[in-house]
Amino acid sequence: MSRRSPPGRLVSTAAGYSAFIPDPLPPVLEWHSDLVRVLSDADRLVGRLSGEGARLPNPNLLTRPFVRREAVLSSRIEGTQATLGELLANEAGAAVNRAPEDLREVANYVVALEHGLKHLKRRPVSLDLVRGLHARLLAGVRGGSAEPGRFRRVQNWIGPPGCTPFDATHVPAPPEALPECLKQWQAALADRTLPPLVRVALLHYQFEAIHPFRDGNGRVGRLLVTLLLAQWQVLPAPLLYLSAFFEATRREYYDRLLGVSRHGEWEEWLAYFLTGVARQSEDAVSRAERINDLLLRWRTVAAEEAGAAALRLIDLVAVNPFLVATAVARQLGVAFTTAQRGIERLVRHGVLTEVGSARRGRVYCAKKLLDILEEPARVTARE
């Protein structure tokens, strides 16, 4: 356990409690053999995922459901209960038996992530983008009273319900120290002295330690992991998401973050984070390969037996496994009857199944594709 780099300092506030101000990045790291091995494994498996992403005929088709899976899992860490199937069905225009607030929170995460990916085509990650992500994430949902898009001007803290700053688990920097902390965080974005995966891990810890917003810090921090990987072109398409790993190992996730703040356990945090990168790279490769093979088989069936309209439907299924004929007609620019006939052909060939019992606005689902997307991640924190 390394203690070579102090994690930061505690400062006394006028109210009498102590708050934590992290030191600027990067810390001094002890590159022991286990940490080097974990980084090597993560790099190797990210490279494999990069190769699979490059093999996809249209990576953008696959990133859309992956983005939504990340939105569901990241929101679940914060207590939102919506499932991926419910989100996708709702987007397709089907009625969903889920609290609208939960669906809106997850949908906001999708909006924020897609905004960030679009932003990166013009400019890199910055504090302005961070504020923009937060504004979109909290628009019209619980936490919306916590000044969406504005860094906090009050003290916040982390701990069990009912705790105060005096007995909280973690008290981030006081408001007057926040601008300097954020300035240092932004400066660290440009530091290229360490490998990209290590930089992402350090920046994620630092963001969560600073906790710059009154609410939504965890989700914004996880959004930034994806965006930084995309900015530094670690992958040809945004296919790697860590929320499944964080959600499955939630207790260790919080313990490792806190271990840095309290004890300077940088190496332990890096080993945990890089293990997550490795496991989620394997998971994403498996899903991408199975989805790619499934779509290839379906396209072959559509081209040979079901006709051109059905072939165009396969591209829609790749984006969202739920279909409603009225929406399909609008998306493809065809008559409703043409869309319905195409759907029925895919039903006969086993691609789609009618779900629900609505007599009008019938809903269809490519269940084999949805099963791959919804399958729980098989992850372990450390091997």
Confidence band of 247 (pLDDT split at 50, 70, 90):
very high
Residues 242 and 354 placed together within one structural domain of the fold: no
Residues 215 and 300 placed together within one structural domain of the fold: no
pLDDT of residue 1: 42
| Per-residue model confidence as pLDDT tens digits over 101-121 | 889 999 999 999 999 999 999
Range(s) of the domain holding residue 192: 8-282
For residues 219-239, average pLDDT: 91
* 168 dihedral zone (left: phi>0; alpha: psi -120 to 50; beta): beta
Residue 265 lies in a domain: yes
Spatial CB neighbours of 7, under 8 Å, sequence gap ≥ 6:
22, 23, 27, 260, 261, 262, 263, 264, 266
Residues 330 and 273 placed together within one structural domain of the fold: no
Share of residues in the chain with pLDDT > 90 (%) = 70
Confidence band of 361 (pLDDT split at 50, 70, 90):
confident
Res. 263: pLDDT tops 60: yes
According to DSSP, residue 176 is labeled: G
* CATH code of residue 343: 1.10.10.10
Residues 59 and 205 placed together within one structural domain of the fold: yes
Residues 217 and 323 placed together within one structural domain of the fold: no
Tokens found for residue 188? 């660290």
According to DSSP, residue 355 is labeled: E
Confidence band of 307 (pLDDT split at 50, 70, 90):
low
Please check whether residue 210 is in contact with residue 182, taking contact to mean a CB–CB distance below 8 angstroms: yes
The pTM of this model reads 0.91
Tell which of 228, 247, 282 closes a domain: 282
**By mean pLDDT, which of 164-173, 174-183, 343-352, 355-364 is the weakest?**
355-364
Residues 278 and 296 placed together within one structural domain of the fold: no
Res. 302: pLDDT tops 90: no
Residues 273 and 322 placed together within one structural domain of the fold: no
Please check whether residue 126 is in contact with residue 112, taking contact to mean a CB–CB distance below 8 angstroms: no
pLDDT of residue 381: 47
Residues 267 and 125 placed together within one structural domain of the fold: yes
Give, in degrees to the nearest 5, the angle at Cα 71 between 70 and 73.
Answer: 65
Tell which of 233, 251, 282 closes a domain: 282
Confidence band of 57 (pLDDT split at 50, 70, 90):
low
Q: From 252, 255, 242, 320, select the one nearest 284 (Cα to Cα).
A: 242
Please check whether residue 281 is in contact with residue 44, taking contact to mean a CB–CB distance below 8 angstroms: no
Residue that the structure tokens 């008559």 belong to: 335
Please check whether residue 239 is in contact with residue 59, taking contact to mean a CB–CB distance below 8 angstroms: yes
Residue 49 lies in a domain: yes
Tell which of 282, 305, 321 closes a domain: 282
| Per-residue model confidence as pLDDT tens digits over 174-199 | 999 999 999 999 999 999 999 999 99
Res. 171: pLDDT tops 90: yes
For residues 163-183, average pLDDT: 96
Residue 173 lies in a domain: yes
Q: Average per-residue pLDDT in the chain?
A: 90
Confidence band of 62 (pLDDT split at 50, 70, 90):
confident
Share of residues in the chain with pLDDT > 70 (%) = 92
Residues 54 and 82 placed together within one structural domain of the fold: yes
Residues 271 and 291 placed together within one structural domain of the fold: no
Res. 2: pLDDT tops 50: no
Res. 273: pLDDT tops 60: yes
Residues 233 and 132 placed together within one structural domain of the fold: yes
Q: How many domains does the chain have?
A: 2
Residues 209 and 243 placed together within one structural domain of the fold: yes
Of the CA atoms within 13 Å of residue 120, those in its CB half-sphere come to 20
Q: From 49, 51, 34, select the one nearest 277 (Cα to Cα).
A: 49
Res. 41: pLDDT tops 80: yes
pLDDT of residue 177: 97
